Amino acid sequence: MTDATPVPESGAPDDRSPFATLAEAFPSVEFSEPLGQHVARVAREDLVAFVEGCRDAGFDTFIDLCAVDYLRRPPHRFEVAINLLSIGGPLRLRILVGVPGGEPSLPSITGVFPGANFYEREAYDLFGLAFEGHPDLTRILLPDDWQGHPLRKDHPVGAVPVQFKGANTVT
Amino acid sequence: MSNPPDVVTGEIEAPSVEAQEAPPASVSAGEQERRRVHDLWLSGTEAPATTGRFTSEGAQEMLYTESDRVLAGQMGTLVADDYEIDPSVAEDETQIINMGPQHPSTHGVLRLQLELDGETIRRAKPIIGYLHTGMERTAETLTFMQGPTNVTRMDYLSPFHNELCYSLAVEALLGIEIPPRAQAIRILMTELNRVSSHLIWLATQGMDIGAITMMLYGFREREEVVNFFEMVTGLRMNHNYIRPGGVAADLPDGWEDEVERLLRLVPRGMEEYEGMLTENPIWLERTQGVGVITPEECKAYGVTGPLLRASGIAWDIRKAFPYSGIDQYEFDVPTGRHGDVYDRYLVRLEEIRQSLGIVRQVLETMPLGDYRSEDRKVTPPPRARLDQSMEALIHHFKIFTEGFKVPVGEVYQAVESPRGELGMYLVSNGGPKPWRLHVRAPSFANVQALPMMLADSLIADTVATLASVDPVLGDVDR
């Protein structure tokens, strides 16, 4: 009960900040720090390589993956936000990936973090984003026969009758 | 024993008295018995169809499809020798069974598909979504002020943490300061909530393993904590008490005495739990080495909270990224070594003690002052001011009709809920309602890791492992 792996109070595991290492290795990635949170903006082609780089740079804990539908905001309609954590830091990193509305697909990161499995299924279910290379891209929260992706901004709220699986529908 | 059913059929088709009285030596005693039963109950009917193979796929399947055997079984005349093994079924064939969604120990409506090889689980698959109510979409239709009413219903065993996380995210975008008293009240309520949530976990974990007394004990103390919540907020759960800008109301008169009472009652109950469970051989047998998860697996799957700590990593958001002034209180982060159910039990018990320690410190150092921000663009003015001040009336009207506007931006805010990292990713487009609210639910990630904890374990340990994860399905499905 008592012998714990202590979490260092502050500072990166090595002398250099992991962000500097990552910025050097991936020159195409844009780093910023809005509201004191570290954000990296990645093109979807470079996503898997960058996530692997992050894991090797200390961000080895998968925390979250979610999608946002910005509808008409250029350049991309969808944005996928991936949250990683470095327990040793302690540091957080949010990776943002733009996904065009016309071709809503991006590579899956389940090969790097198996924990992304359920999260990518959720994003597929609610936003209709296709994660290429996902082992089992099926609906997770909604029934299999559900029509549409209800968290998209062009999906009306309260304008359609509630769909129940297996119910007799009058058309 | 070795007779395949097809061979039997031919002989049964023409039963005769002679065959019954003088059976050939090659027919076994069980076979004779079966023929006797057939003649007794099924004479004159067609011969039973014996070509039907029993299958191990599906839970509804009866293993013996031949009518005479079923009948003999019902009559109690079937002897053990008659349980013949169908040679066409391979010995290593597995069967898939469903557990849930309506099962007393799935803590809600979780469905598990288990692939069994005998009594060993080879594969498990959690199937979720039965409690999905689209709360993330609902949040987009509510103003920032109405938001806590929605999020408080997600993880219904720790509603204060949901409200706190949401409020902190909104406040981060607004950039407002929260008065010290409001922060201390928030810590008081969330830490007591951790106690009540862990007590529910302990009660249900005990119940699932068969320690029914624990169920009653756990709920007895939890009831006292919930009574305090009712005294402060008016509700036992889904409080909507912590709101952007502070809390809904100041603590009522006499709250110190009630907290003192809790600080006496809960430790007394904990002594009873420990006396009953910690060294109980049955408890140890059912929990030690069960449902193990390693630190590496926790990291890869995003498993947080007591599960991560029980596997040996002292990770606590309250220490790493302190919120709401939690860093001014002293507490320890308990960890385990083995990552099994027993260590999770020890870790959670210690967390209750540490939380009570924080509550004691809050009680002793509760600052005076406002219980919410005085920024009238965010919090409504006191009711009495409405009769005297035009400004107050305008602010009141604006807040309750349109709501306050939050600057454009995105923020990820996390708090340490009793189940792990509860995070909210809040996107504002500058209007009075969130553009997007994503909830990173701790139970969602922890349930995802269940297959790893269950793989190659015994089916009898499923409920122990499942209960130790402490999933709240309202949190998983949202």
Domain residue spans of chain B: 5-82, 95-126, 135-477
Q: Give domain status of residue A144, yes or no.
A: no
Q: Give domain status of residue A154, yes or no.
A: no
Query: Six-digit token pair at B403?
Result: 């709501």
Cα separation, B452 vs A48, whole angstroms: 24
Best residue of B130, B132, B173, B299 to probe chain A, by most A CBs closer than 10 Å: B299
Q: Give domain status of residue A108, yes or no.
A: yes
Cα separation, B114 vs A28, whole angstroms: 45
Q: What is the pTM of this model?
A: 0.80
Pairing verdict, β B409-417 and B420-428: antiparallel
Compute the CA torsion angle B308, A92, A115, B317 (nearest 10 deg): 30
Q: Give domain status of residue A128, yes or no.
A: yes
Query: Six-digit token pair at A126?
Result: 């609610």
Cα separation, A86 vs B190, whole angstroms: 25
Best residue of A64, A155, A157, A165 to probe chain B, by most B CBs closer than 10 Å: A64
Cα separation, B345 vs A93, whole angstroms: 32
What are the E-state strand segments in B316-473?
409-417, 420-428, 436-440
pLDDT at residue B80 in the model: 52
Q: Give domain status of residue A93, yes or no.
A: yes
| Minimal Cβ distance to A142: which of B129, B300, B436 | B129
Q: Residues of A49-70 as b/e, b for ≥16 C-beta within 10 angstroms?
A: ebbebbbebbbbbbbbbbbbbb
Instruction: Kindly list the residues from chain A whose CB atom is less than 8 angstroms away from the CB atom of residue B172.
Output: 35
Cβ–Cβ gap A157/B445 under 8 Å: no
Burial status of residue A28 (CB atoms within 10 A of its CB: 0-12, 13-18, 19 or more)? exposed
Instruction: Kindly list the residues from chain A whose CB atom is less than 8 angstroms away from the CB atom of residue B113.
Output: none
Instruction: Kindly list the residues from chain A whose CB atom is less than 8 angstroms away from the CB atom of residue B435.
Output: 68, 70
Q: Which are the contacts of B397, defined by CB distance < 8 A and separation ≥ 6?
A: none
pLDDT at residue B189 in the model: 93
Query: Which residues of chain B are modeled with pLDDT < 70?
Result: 1-30, 33-73, 76-92, 103-106
Q: Domain B135-477 belongs to what topology?
A: Cytochrome-c3 Hydrogenase; chain B (1.10.645)
Instruction: Kindly list the residues from chain A whose CB atom is less than 8 angstroms away from the CB atom of residue B131.
Output: none
Cα separation, B117 vs A65, whole angstroms: 35
Name the average pLDDT for chain A.
Answer: 83
The CATH number for A75's domain is 3.30.460.80
ipTM greater than cut 0.85: no
Q: What is the residue range of A55's domain?
A: 18-132
> How close B174 gets to chain A, by Cα (Å)?
11
Instruction: Kindly list the residues from chain A whose CB atom is less than 8 angstroms away from the CB atom of residue B449.
Output: 115
Cβ–Cβ gap B444/A118 under 8 Å: yes
Number of domains making up chain A = 1
Torsion-angle region of residue B403: left (phi > 0), alpha (psi -120 to 50) or beta?
A: left
pLDDT digits (tens, 9 = 90+) for B334-372: 998 888 999 999 999 999 999 999 999 999 999 998 888
> How close A163 gets to chain B, by Cα (Å)?
12
Cβ–Cβ gap B314/A62 under 8 Å: no
Q: Give domain status of residue A3, yes or no.
A: no
Cβ–Cβ gap A4/B314 under 8 Å: yes
Q: Give domain status of residue A140, yes or no.
A: no
> How close B137 gets to chain A, by Cα (Å)?
6
Query: Which residues of chain A are modeled with pLDDT < 50?
Result: 1-4, 6, 8-13
pLDDT digits (tens, 9 = 90+) for B373-386: 888 788 888 888 88
